[in-house]
Chains A and B, each alone.
Chain A
Amino acid sequence: MKQQINFGIKFGYIMIKKYFKNIVWILVALLGALAFSTVALSRHESINAVWFITAAVCVFMIAYRFYASWIAAKVLVIDEFKKTPAVMLRNDKDFIPTNKWIVFGHHFAAIAGPGPLVGPTLAAQFGYLPGMLWILIGAVLGGAVQDMTALFFSMRRNGKSLGQMAKDEIGVIGGTASLIGTFLIMVILIAVLGLVVVNAMKHSPWATSTVAATIPIAIFIGIYLRSIRTGRVLEASLIGFGLLLLAVFAGGLIDHSQMLRIYFDHDSLTLAWAIIFYGFAAAVLPVWLLLAPRDYLSTFVKLGTVIILAVAIVILQPEIKMPALTQFTNGSGPIFGGSVFPFVFITIACGSISGFHSLIASGTTPKLLDNEKYIPMVGYGAMLLESFVAIMALIAATVLEPGVFFAINSPAGIVGADALGAIQKINAWGFKVTVEEMELLAKNMGETSLFARTGGAPSLAVGMANIFGKAFGSNLLAMWYHFAIMFEAIFILTTLDAGTRVGRFMLQDMIGNIYPKFGQTSWMPSIILSSAIVVSCWGYFLYIGVIDPNGGVNILWPLFGIANQMLAAIALSIGTAILIKSNKVKYAWVTGLPLLWLMIVTTTAAFQKIFSQDVRVGFIAAARDLTDKINIGLIEDNKISVTHQLIFNQKLDAFITLLLLIILWIVVIDMLRISFFKKK
């Protein structure tokens, strides 16, 4: 009798627990639906950012709990009893069984770069809604699936890289395409990120001195970590963080000193050359001296700032001022030309779906996980967290008054170099802002002007400073602004250092196939020559971006987006090919659908970038327009040489876009051919 009662209690407990769980998930779904529909359907003057956070958290929770679990159980058939490469091939060098949270932390720190901060900020010109929807839907159905499947397939192949898997599964064409794609993406990425930093620093002694100070600080930390307290990363990072805060403070003093500020007050071109020289030095110098300590600092600052921003948004619950949709969805936007379809899907790559992630998911991470059951958490979960960072960047950009947002982000080539003219044009678009407001804002932020500060970083920094200021004290707005600039610049420069070095290794490897001595990565002539070639490649695009009166971002960011999405398409092609070849055709849509969507948006965007008759969209049309202007004498004599450079660049960009498009289609057609052939 007693046993029966105990059984009854246990049974009742299990049933209550089961139903309670279901009720919780139903409530999450209802709350998510309410928040999502509020965000999507609201056409009021402003909407609270808490709705954004709620919609994102609920969508991500449901996607992780149900979709990721379903993919793990049914599509990939994850086996928690199967030995992972970390366990099977353990050597405590490359293959190290590691705690799941540590792997999650390392994986997230590796995938979350500056992309999810910049892309959503630029895409806010369409209004908050297109970016918000694409970040949520793109991440859940595309980006997280890509990362998770790439991680799984790499783990089942002893931790093979994306390039090796492309070669094995699709063939030499796939392998070569992924190699060329990776190199191109690296070059364009570094150029555009360099441009973002240059635009944040131009004629800003405070920002320039703070960013410049990060170099000696990193070198000091490098020496500390190597020679003073070897390997004590935690204390070195804390010291470095303290020094970075001091640099932000000292930057303010420099800005107020008439004697010192002139040493840090430079135009874009000078700063671009400084970045190019720095990039070369960083690629040639030993890792311990600059790259590694900078990475420790940037990871520390990145994670800390993102957490503080999330807390500040939750405390402050700011109102979103940007409308859901702006008139620029038709393609006439000042930040970059092109309509909402396909360009929102190209502009926001990191945060929704980023091909670059597949290189990380098939790099170190598969060699660390000690159980397959953690694949959804690391592969899918880390991408959702990055998407959350993108949502926060979108919030920080859209809490600004739209007039202010457009005044900061519109290049002089579109709104004019004169403040009054720019304001009149922005007012004519229907966004209220005055010259006095912009002057006061610049003064509050410790800047002389915030007009035409393109690239996304300054407007994001103003948004973050507003949020931090309101949450933690508004008398330090200028400090918060420059802290935010330093925060963005420090890991942009880490990506620049690391990217140049990887480009160098790739080049040494490629040329090493012809001339083996060149392939020795420690041979100094090879280091210098390959570094110089890589830096010249991205330095060229950075230089052109700086001299372009339309701001450069207009060209470079879509090009980066197309390259990144092409790499994502290669990763998804590999996944689809493996699923088809392993008789899982009925599940091939899991990777096949995001692949199809990427094919549609990337092809449309690439086609428009090459052939559109709109001079702000089409490269060929822009080149023709500039040629015509020279021929009819509209270009001043002293600008003719620069205009010829811009014409050449437009044609080069058209060629690169065409190359990316051809690679994309060859890989997908080859994938289908091989999958079909193998299946038979």
Chain B
Amino acid sequence: MLNYIKSLYKFIRRLSGDDLYDLYLMSHKQCSKKHKLMTKKEFYQATLDKKWSGIKRCC
């Protein structure tokens, strides 16, 4: 039951984008050390700029 709640929480975090920075840190550790690591704030801003540069919401 506890595992079920944990995985549900993990799913909701992923769906809402709550864990995006954690994912970025993991990804940065694994494959792109040549790029400068963005701070949380820089990453958040970059994510928003990317997200809202095109048609993201429909009628």
Contacts and interface: CB of A to CB of B under 8 A. Distances in A.
Interface string A95-112: 000010110011000111
Given A102-B14, A230-B44, A233-B16, A292 B52 contact: yes
Nearest to B20: A231
A494 interface: yes
Contact of B41 (A101, A230, A359): A230
A458 interface: no
Nearest to A292: B48
Contacts of A541: none
Contacts of B56: 110, 360, 363-364, 498
Given A230-B41, A288-B44, A292-B48, A113 B53 contact: no
Contacts of A349: 59
Interface stretch (A76-84, A481-489, A499-507, A646-654): A499-507
B44 to A, nearest CB: 5
B52 A113 contact: no
Contact of A111 (B24, B27, B32, B58): B58
A226 interface: yes
A189 B57 contact: no
B16 A237 contact: yes
A50 to B, nearest CB: 28
A92 interface: yes
Interface in A224-279: 225-227, 230-235, 237
21 contacts: A92-B24, A101-B15, A102-B15, A106-B15, A113-B57, A114-B59, A115-B58, A225-B44, A226-B41, A230-B44, A231-B40, A231-B47, A232-B18, A292-B52, A295-B57, A350-B58, A350-B59, A359-B58, A363-B55, A499-B57, A560-B59
B51 interface: yes
Given A231-B18, A233-B16, A113 B44 contact: no
A93 interface: yes
A234 B59 contact: no
Interface of A: 92-94, 99, 101-102, 105-106, 110-115, 161, 182, 185, 189, 193, 225-227, 230-235, 237, 287-288, 291-292, 295-296, 300, 349-350, 354, 356-357, 359-360, 363-364, 494-495, 498-499, 501-502, 505, 521, 560, 564
Contact of B58 (A94, A110, A230): A110
A357 B58 contact: yes
A269 B53 CA distance: 32
A495 B59 contact: yes
A502 B55 contact: yes
Contact of B52 (A287, A359, A363): A287
Nearest to A103: B15
A113 B50 CA distance: 21
Contacts of A363: 54-56
B16 A296 contact: yes
A189 B21 CA distance: 34
The 5 closest A-B pairs by CB, nearest first: A115-B59, A234-B18, A498-B57, A230-B40, A231-B44
Given A232-B18, A287-B48, A354-B59, 5 more contacts: A112-B58, A230-B21, A233-B18, A350-B58, A360-B55
Interface in B4-50: 11-18, 20-21, 24, 27, 31-32, 40-41, 43-45, 47-50
B59 A356 contact: yes
Given A226-B44, A292-B52, A505-B53, A234 B13 contact: yes
Nearest to B9: A234
B51 to A, nearest CB: 7
A185 B59 CA distance: 10
Contacts of B31: 92
Contact of A234 (B16, B47, B53): B16
**For B16, B31, B44, which residue has the most chain A Cβ atoms within 10 angstroms?**
B16
Contacts of B51: 287, 292
A49 B51 CA distance: 39
A193 B59 CA distance: 9
B27 to A, nearest CB: 5
B50 A93 contact: yes
**For A92, A494, A505, A560, which residue has the most chain B Cβ atoms within 10 angstroms?**
A92
B57 A110 contact: yes
Contacts of A189: 59
B40 to A, nearest CB: 4
A530 to B, nearest CB: 14
Contacts of A291: 52
A442 to B, nearest CB: 30
Given A231-B20, A232-B18, A234-B16, A502 B44 contact: no
Given A114-B59, A231-B40, A354-B58, A501 B16 contact: no
**For A99, A288, A296, A560, which residue has the most chain B Cβ atoms within 10 angstroms?**
A288
Contacts of A227: 41
Given A231-B43, A231-B44, A234-B12, A495 B57 contact: yes
B6 to A, nearest CB: 14
Nearest to A91: B32
A300 B17 CA distance: 12
A170 to B, nearest CB: 20
Contacts of A233: 16-18
Nearest to B26: A92
A300 B15 CA distance: 11
Contacts of A99: 14
Contacts of A354: 58-59
B52 to A, nearest CB: 5
A470 to B, nearest CB: 29
Contacts of B52: 287, 291-292, 498, 501
**For A115, A292, A495, which residue has the most chain B Cβ atoms within 10 angstroms?**
A292
Contacts of B43: 231
